[in-house]
Amino acid sequence: MLKKMSIKKIITSSIVLMIVFLIYLIPNTPQEEKTIETSIEYVNQTIKTHTIYLLDNNNYLSRTTVKINSEEPQKICQELLETMIDEGKNSDQIPSGFRPIIPSNTKINTLSLVDGTLKVDFSKDFLNTSKELEERLLEGVVYTLTSVEGVENIILFIDGEILTKLPQNNIQLPATLNRQIGINKNFQITSTKDITSTTVYYIHKYNDDYYYTPVTTFSNDSREKIEIIIDQLENTISDQNLMSFLNSKTQLTDFSIDENKMIVCFDEYIFDDFDTQNILEEVLYTISLSIYDNYPVEEVIFEVNSQEIAKTTLKSLE
């Protein structure tokens, strides 16, 4: 009897061992695999970029983007300025076809942002530039810093003293700087009275890539600025290699401003293709960027025959 029970126990133990062995040999089920896979966490770090104004091969300050690591406005300003310094620590971020505008060896002594006003104290090396690029240096810094959300005005210091004059060109400066100083200036003045300024974004090309170049024109033109913008984009400055893809037959039929929104109405010539009613991205960008630099709005709505056909926001273009 005992012998039979022993044999039975041995057989039972062997079966159990065989079952355990087979379990280890059988592959995981899809559900088990899914559980294992989802237990591993992957961190997907989104690359952040920001608008910056750098010199292109034609010595125009142009709009491009660089990678940034910061999120706070003050730290973003610091990082962008460091990228703009020639041979600086962020020079590897400069896109092909562009170069920094701030002279090498320039130090950022202090930088602070309070109530929309950014104060930056540079070392005296900041002014070690050519006479031809002295004004562009100022423009590039101001346009780059005011592209940062929360920055409205700039006060520049040189080793603790407010910068009130560009020494080489003997240009007097207001204590507080903003985009009213203009960029890549063009003068079409026939009188010293009733001078207005309008900034228009054109297209430049480097290799196969398009980018946007703002030009501020000072003139005696008394028309509404949106009318000047469309007129300028239809009649590009060909001798300066500035382009626009806006059809020269395009008509601005109406426009209106409602709080922070601007509605611009066109005829069908704004379409790249009448059948698909498609508007080129470059047309949307040149018009929208120009509007944002001349009007205090945050949204532009494009209409044709009273129908909305496109919309941009200031944040979507930054």
Per-residue model confidence as pLDDT tens digits over 56-112:
999 999 999 999 999 999 999 999 999 999 998 888 889 999 999 999 999 999 999
How sure is the predictor about 21, in pLDDT bands with cuts at 50, 70 and 90? very low
Q: Residue 220 has what pLDDT?
A: 94
Per-residue model confidence as pLDDT tens digits over 254-287:
999 998 999 999 999 999 988 888 999 999 999 9
How sure is the predictor about 239, in pLDDT bands with cuts at 50, 70 and 90? low
Domain residue spans of the chain: 48-178, 186-317
pTM above the 0.95 mark? no
Spell out the SS3 assignment of the chain: CHHHHHHHHHHHHHHHHHHHHHHHHCCCCHHHHHHHHHCCCCCCCCCEEEEEEEEECCCCEEEEEEEECCCCHHHHHHHHHHHHECCCCCHHHCCCCEECCECCCCCEEEEEEECCEEEEEECHHHHCCCCCCHHHHHHHHHHHHCCCCCCCEEEEEECCEECCEECCCCEECCCCECHHHCCCCEEECCCCCCCEEEEEEEEEEECCEEEEEEEEEEECCCCCHHHHHHHHHHCCCHHHCCECCCCCCCCEEEEEEECCEEEEEECHHHCCECCCCECCHHHHHHHHHHHHHHCCCCEEEEEECCEEEEEEEHHHHC
